[in-house]
Structure 1
């Protein structure tokens, strides 16, 4: 392969994925997620149905904008994090990378509102989130050697991001990144310092 061909191929893949997710979201907003077909999404993105399935296992993942590169990058960040970097800091970096990509697409609010109206999209989002958290927790466990702490950190980080995005939808003047920062600060400080085990 000539130098530069690999980069060109990757750019074309990114463009195709972006075209499919944009077409899927636009059609789902117009017709409702349940009424959109894979064939319609592929046609709108000017690709074949076979090409669609090279990127997504079903239409819900296209509408959700699922990008496996996010998970791959997150796993790489965990594996290569400096020894002195706290696990929660690593998760903060991961969340901000994903959030930046979502905001750059300009579809965060539209997609979020659509998901909340569709049981099917909510179900697939839950399944994909559980699988992501499982893989991230395994990687974090390998790094810090404490499976309970690793799983709590990963799950809490994901929850902090979801809560921040949901709050942003109800308060449009808020900044998603700042809400995430505030949520992580609460996690770092302890969300309930007065907690006492077994206290009634």
Structure 2
């Protein structure tokens, strides 16, 4: 599968730097506590560069958390085709969905609840990443699995991760002291979820 060229990699790095600057400012000051000029000053770019990547500060903040999902799907490209798809996905999620990535995702969702103007941008990024991730998963699966299987599997995986990030299931990340006594560590949650995926509900 083709890898992005140097120009595209630089573009992605610039977009990520701007997104991280906006995200850090949102965490520190709230979404109403900074403007685009603060973002570009913090990231070391111009307003024109910002405009080449994002329509507003909300769009930049929303995009920061989902690079982890993108990285997880990219990692699947390097897994041997001899490994069953479900096993490969399980292993990749364990490695790629790090504490930092998951914490960012949770924080963006929390910010969107606190600042409603952010919510539609979060939904847009989630939708875009879901479509891209499913398309890339289809390429990884190639002709080894029927298209219906891949779609259903991806839908189940997406719902599984979303339930943990949105607080529908009490999943505790390392260093998280806010969860209740019956909460699951994220790795435990993955084991339970994949057990159901393999054997049914």
Mark yes or no: TM-score above 0.5.
yes
1:13-58: per-residue Cα shift (whole Å, max 9, x none)?
A: 75x6665344312332354435643222112333222333455454
RMSD: 3.6
Distance 2:35 2:89 in 1: 35
Q: Number of paired residues?
A: 180
Q: Distance in 2 between matches of 1:181 and 1:104?
A: 19
Tell whether the 8 Å contact from 2:71 to 2:96 is kept in structure 1 after alignment.
Answer: no
Residue 190, structure 1, aligned to residue 188, structure 2? no
Which of 168, 172, 179 is 2:171 aligned to? 168
Alignment of 1:1-200 (within 5 A): 14=13, 19-33=17-31, 36-53=34-51, 56=54, 58-64=56-62, 65-66=64-65, 70-71=69-70, 74-75=73-74, 77=76, 79-100=77-98, 103=100, 107-142=104-139, 143=142, 144-165=144-165, 166=167, 167-168=170-171, 171=179, 174-191=184-201
Matched-pair contact (CA < 8 Å) for 1:21–1:63 = yes
Cα distance, 1:19–1:128 mapped onto 2, change above 3 Å: closer
For the residues of structure 2 that align with 1:50 and 1:161, how far apart are their CA atoms?
A: 35
Deviation at 1:153, TM superposition (A): 1.0
Q: Distance in 2 between matches of 1:58 and 1:22?
A: 14
1:57-113 CA distance string (max 9 Å, x none): 542342131565852661462x4432332222233244334421x526964553342
Please give the alpha-carbon distance, in whole angstroms, between the structure 2 residues aligned to 1:87 and 1:158.
Answer: 15
Query: TM-score by structure 2 length?
Result: 0.66
In structure 2, C-alpha distance between the alignment counterparts of 1:69 and 1:56, rounded to whole Å: 19
Shift of 1:114: 1.4
